[in-house]
Structure 1
Amino acid sequence: MSEMSGLRALVTGGASGIGRATAELLAARGANVAVLDLDPSSVDKPMRGYAADVSDDSSVRSAVAAAAADLGGIDILVNNAGIGAAGTVEDNDDAQWHRVLDVNVLGIVRTTRAALPHLRASAHAAVVNTCSIAATAGLPQRALYSASKGAVHSLTLAMAADHVREGIRVNCVNPGTTETPWVDRLLDQAADPASERAALNARQPMGRLVTAHEVAAAVAYLASPAAASITGIALAVDGGMQGLRLRPERQ
């Protein structure tokens, strides 16, 4: 029996990218999985899909309540839903700042707030937030996105402190640039997509982009009972980008 057999997991933004890889891995390891997404039509059995907009509190509360009722509770919450933004501090208008912060930061607040009563009733309660390397490293053309993920990092630590005595662990993962539909769209918009991809690959010491499945594996570990003594950490899944400082390769 898998150590996650019978655990009940809720994954936001779970219809594609990192969220989908995470939901599928949790299900493969024996968890009963509910996916919250704007469009859950692609969610396959045995997972359950629920339509929800993390920027709308009533939508979140209704979806979380329905998922908890169908699953019989919630043990694991993966706050993965998020949106991106490109540009310097002067390139995004106020409306876009409000939108990204509303989804990436307040989306976590809304979903966690709705799930907390169920997590408090669990013997294996865990929350994992999808953060980013952008929270801990200065990346060009990512001012708004970085600000939102910096807030997610700080929020993770505060939540971990608030809920540790309730038996609820809270951690986050910090992916490097990852093969996701959003990154594919950014590359498609570049003047030279091939050169831009090569630059992104080279930025990470391992020389390639992170895969969604690699991030999912880190999420699954932090969410599992195997990580029962781990709370308040940010686990980098970034090909060494945060911690390594390599000398230039000899030509």
Structure 2
Amino acid sequence: MTSVLERPGDVADVAAEGVSAPVANSMKAKALHTAVSDALLFAAPASARLPFLEAVRLEFGGGQLVAVATDRFVLGASRVEYAGESFMVMVAGNDARALVKMAKTLKRDEADRAVTVEVVDAGAQVTFHFSTGESMSVRGLDVEFPNWRQLLPSDASRMGGIVGMGYTLAYLGRFTKARADEQGAGAQMVVFPSVTSSGKPGPTAIRIGEDFFGLLMPIRPPGDEWQFERPSWLDEASSVAVSGAGEVR
């Protein structure tokens, strides 16, 4: 549930009802927008009818906010700077989109516009107060998100063993939209195809700069593996080759 707070007393009213007092934390509005909008690219749509995947997981703590989402076919995790207490909250997709809209900041204001994050009951309710006056309250979803860190390759031991990998273009395209500002400034996308323990194509790890990490699930090959074959139409037609050779003097 999302609500725009119209008066400062709304937060105080919650505490007065016997709920533990909120804790203040802070970050830049631009950073919040970047992390949540990145993660939303990888969340499941409402049509999937999977509430635990139609959401963004926000992990605050250790000097950073990590926003992560997955629809089972792709996964994206985006990191930005944050100062404050450690907590986690699952934000519904609609709430996350509303938060992104509110956090969007004009370039001239990026250095000054900040967010204070108030937390009640370890993330059961989170309120985002913007220095420009807007506020938004989000109630965390009571759903179990996949143990996403277990899906990530821990080292390079299963990488480089397969030449051909098949991908769904629509899924691959989502990664071209993550960290849009950094990609526009020349940040590179680096991919690391992997294999499973049985030698089959596994998830491809994708890095964009230093603060984005994703996974792209491959398409199963028609046989045991994808076989490279150069298309015959790339070969120069004999008539073209002959006519071209005759013109050289």
| TM-score with structure 1 setting the length | 0.24
| Structure 1 or 2: more strand by fraction | 2
Q: Which has the larger radius of gyration?
A: 2
The structure with more helix, counted as a fraction of residues: 1
| TM-score (norm. length: structure 2) | 0.25
